[in-house]
Chains A and B, each alone.
Chain A
Amino acid sequence: MAGLRFRAGRRFGTLAGLIGLCLLLWILTPHFLTVANALNVMEQTSINAIVAVGMTYVIISGGIDLSVGSLLALSGVVLAEALKGGWPAPFAVAASFGVGAAAGLANGLGIALGRLPPFIMTLGMMSVARGAALLVTDGRPVSGFSSGFRSLATGHALGVPSPIVFTLAIYAVAALVLSRTRFGRYVYGIGGNEEATRLSGVEVRFHKMIVYGVSGLTSAIAALLLTARLNSAQPIAGINYELDAIAATVIGGTSLTGGEGSLGGTMVGALIMGVLRNGLNLLGVSSFLQQLVIGAVIIAAVLVDLMLKEKRA
């Protein structure tokens, strides 16, 4: 019981932070609180939010995945090359998701069976996947797709831009899996106490592999949206995306030591970063100051979180 209350409390803290931030921006600029801008922010947040789904799984399981940005680039160029090669879109998408998930599973294999620290394995994969993406494309962006394909990112459903619809759907499924399935409980168990989980008869190594596979898959889904949005897949896409995804996850209250966290929190964390970037653009803040402010807010958000945690404990 105590654990449940505790988790709810943390989520409330970050949500209050997001609302406070929105209020501040609403006071500072008339352009912030409009329907067009709200949709704009959510659309811009979608890529990071989707990458952060896999990151949340990984971090709850006690690991870290530094390769997500490179996996995004690799699955993006695989998708683009397949489409350019005349593959029907569903096959191209399947190939791209397959490559993303397979590279993620390879991460899991090295970590679970090879006993490599996740930091090292995914750091290596970050470079391997980036190199592969550059090799496949000869370093050049691959672009020019059919308007049907581009509408994946540029289309609307009931006036809502499709990236937002995708993001909500993915969060709904991923949150359900995390909270309602046996696999979801194992993810928390592995992150909380791996040894105890193993001793209670859970095949820890297998489930760890799946966790990294999920992370590769969500990177590939983000790649699909990014490629459709830019009408181009770049081998140098996604640099530093791992840092954004980790920041969204941690701001959202997921513990870097594993065992606790939630996707709702991660969504709020991603929105805080998106709103902040959007607001600083609207205010015309210098690009250098923006970096400083974003860093300060990440630190402040986690600090508030820790304080609430202390109060509740």
Chain B
Amino acid sequence: MIRSDTSVGSDARRRADTRVRHYLLISIVAAVALASIACNRGTATTGRPRVAFVLKTLNSPFFNDMQRGAEDAAKKLGVDLVVQAADREIDVERQMQIIENLLQTGINALCLTPSGSKEVVPAVVKANRANIPVVIVDTRLDPAASSEAGAKIASFTGSDNYEGGRIAGRFITTASGGRAKVAVLEGIPGHETGDSRLRGFRDAVRDTPDVQVVASQTANWERDQGFNVFQNMLQAHPDIDTVFACNDMMALGAMEAIRAAGKTGRIRVVGFDAVDDARKAIEEGTMAASVAQFPDEMGRVAVENAVHAIRGEPVTPDVRVRIELVTKKGG
């Protein structure tokens, strides 16, 4: 081994170098510790009931609204609310870990929007064993899987997604005068919400033979995939005049693809969820309609039901939150 850095100068430099690294390291450790302490304040024991709300994700306006509604209700009812979610909406295993971890912290009730209707059933069973009431929100548990595993829930709160799909289908039938070539952007296959919307939509257009679904593919709920998938559909079927997307993110992606193709205004776009961007597009006239859900109301009702369950009061087992079609005002 030949080592040439034995001179005094480079030794000193190496020492300085090590010192810099020490500082860097200490600051990282300190930052982590401070961050943990800062967040720990929220969970300080107050003697008030603690409700955990596990969402599918926090990177979506829909779930942000749900969180807001839940927080408002928690404040009003005087309960501590812990909101957690996986980084990705589809990460069931991570959602399950979050539930297991929260069950360790002595929560009194669990509100849950399942990332997978069947996959979270074992986690619900664990909550049952710990005698923690479970309120399911937005996406139903799979009935077969939960009855087989003996999973029990206190209540379900959600929109009637099937009815929402039918509303969208009826709107397209009426607005097109009964003649349309429709492209459908589906959600992730196997997700109960998307599957119900799709069934509702198909049932609504079935009796109108000239409303044809010429292409139907998944864009996995995502905006960028909505763009790409719809662009490809438009290549294959240039005569598409209507898009039904099972959520607004995919609809907004498709709208960008329409803009890129120079066809803005010539293709009717109908989405689902009525998020802020979609409402704006509807007012501007680039989007025709979106089916509005009221996630803030779901969040509110779920926390209220959780509190009823904690207090041993009767809980409405199935709450349908209202749903409505948003179109341009006065248009």
Contact = CB atoms under 8 A, between A and B. Distances in A.
B113 to A, nearest CB: 14
Contact of A143 (B90, B119, B189): B119
Interface of B: 18, 21-22, 24-25, 28-29, 31-33, 35-37, 39-40, 42-43, 58, 82, 84-88, 90-93, 96-98, 100-102, 104-106, 116, 118-119, 121-122, 142, 144-145, 148-149, 188-190, 218
Interface string A221-244: 000001001111010110110000
Contact of B145 (A143, A236, A293): A143
A278 B105 CA distance: 11
B189 A138 contact: yes
Interface in A1-51: 24, 28-29, 31, 34, 36-37, 40, 44, 47
A281 B116 contact: no
Given A231-B119, A300-B29, A288 B101 contact: no
In the A-B complex, the 8 residue pairs with the smallest Cβ-Cβ separation, listed nearest first, are A281-B101, A139-B189, A230-B119, A140-B190, A285-B39, A284-B43, A143-B118, A300-B28
Interface of A: 24, 28-29, 31, 34, 36-37, 40, 44, 47, 138-141, 143-144, 154, 226, 229-232, 234, 236-237, 239-240, 277-289, 291-293, 296-297, 299-300, 303-304, 307, 310
Among A143, A234, A283, A299, the one with the most B-chain Cβ atoms within 10 Å of its Cβ is: A283
Contacts of B149: 231
A282 to B, nearest CB: 5
Given A230-B116, A231-B118, A239-B88, A144 B145 contact: yes
A259 to B, nearest CB: 16
A1 B121 CA distance: 53
9 contacts: A229-B93, A229-B122, A230-B116, A230-B122, A231-B119, A277-B101, A284-B84, A285-B36, A287-B87
Contacts of A307: 18, 21-22, 25
Given A31-B106, A281-B102, A141 B118 contact: yes
Given A239-B91, A281-B98, A300 B104 contact: no
Contacts of A140: 189-190
Contacts of A36: 104
A40 B118 contact: no
Contact of B100 (A24, A44, A236): A44
